[in-house]
């Protein structure tokens, strides 16, 4: 499928999804969100893809936010529909079977921060900036910021960022646990590829089931979450990869996983 505002590239068993609106600092409008949703459907059907990297085009912005030029004349109903489109798209990203790494290469503000938070893992370049500045525009976060940010960094820190609209740098984002690692800009994609390749080298079914256990379990009570984990653990016993992995361990060799 051809996309206007996205680039979808396959590098072996790794897919790189780039938001490609550099003149708008990769801001998210309705068209871009719809294209992103379609690209995620495409990736979800592709069993050859073992991990996904999401980034932004250029060296200045990951995603600068939602497209204010589109939003400024929205009616209440149009605003609600725009938020619902963002919610549905980011939830699809969050529930993608493959692990998703956000390679944040610049501004990740508003919708950009919200998209990054819907990814499984976030790494950032040294010039990256994060924030939910919606209140400085008379708005609230509309693509999940009020929900995912407290779950990631705690209610107190999230409330401060959401109430003030303050923007933080990559090191502060690392300190509060919003990102896993910070790298020089020139090595960010190389490091993202290394991480994706490490993940892709593990048993694919086990990785996907692990992601499912994390995503489903985080909002359950501990007993229910552990019951689901036990079910997932039991499912792995039916896979050829489990047999191969355990046999390789006993034989002290590298496993050859085939994804079933």
- Residues annotated as part of the active site: 114, 134
CA 74/CA 46 separation, integer angstroms: 36
3-state secondary structure of 221: coil
Q: What number of CA atoms fall less than 13 Å from residue 71's CA on the CB side?
A: 22
Region of residue 49 (left: phi > 0; alpha: psi -120 to 50; beta: else): beta
Q: What are phi and psi of 226, to 5 degrees?
A: -70, -30
Residue 256 DSSP one-character state: -
- Provide the 10 A C-beta neighbour count for residue 203: 21
C-alpha triplet 65, 49, 1: angle, nearest 5°: 65
């Amino acid at each position: 499928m051809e996309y206007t505002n996205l680039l979808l590239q396959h590098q072996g068993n790794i897919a790189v999804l780039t938001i490609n609106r550099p003149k708008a600092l990769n801001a998210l409008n309705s068209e871009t969100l719809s294209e992103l949703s379609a690209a995620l459907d495409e990736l979800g059907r592709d069993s050859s893809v073992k991990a996904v990297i999401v980034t932004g085009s250029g060296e200045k912005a990951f995603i600068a936010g939602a497209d204010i030029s589109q939003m400024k004349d929205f009616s209440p109903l149009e605003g609600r529909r725009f938020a619902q489109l963002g919610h549905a798209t980011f939830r699809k990203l969050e529930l993608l079977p493959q692990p998703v790494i956000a390679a944040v290469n610049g501004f990740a503000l508003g919708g950009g921060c919200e998209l990054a938070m819907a990814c499984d893992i976030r790494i950032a370049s040294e010039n990256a900036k994060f924030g939910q500045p919606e209140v400085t525009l008379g708005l609230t976060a509309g693509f999940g910021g009020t929900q995912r940010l407290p779950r990631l960094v705690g209610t107190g820190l999230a409330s401060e960022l959401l109430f003030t609209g303050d923007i933080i740098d990559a090191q502060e984002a690392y300190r509060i646990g919003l990102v896993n690692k910070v790298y020089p800009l020139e090595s960010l994609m190389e490091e993202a590829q290394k991480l994706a390749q490490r993940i892709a080298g593990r048993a694919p079914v086990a990785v996907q089931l692990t992601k499912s256990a994390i995503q489903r379990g985080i909002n359950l009570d501990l007993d229910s979450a552990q019951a689901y984990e036990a079910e997932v653990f039991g499912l792995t016993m039916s896979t050829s990869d489990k047999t191969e992995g355990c046999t390789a361990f006993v034989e002290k060799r590298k496993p050859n996983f085939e994804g079933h």
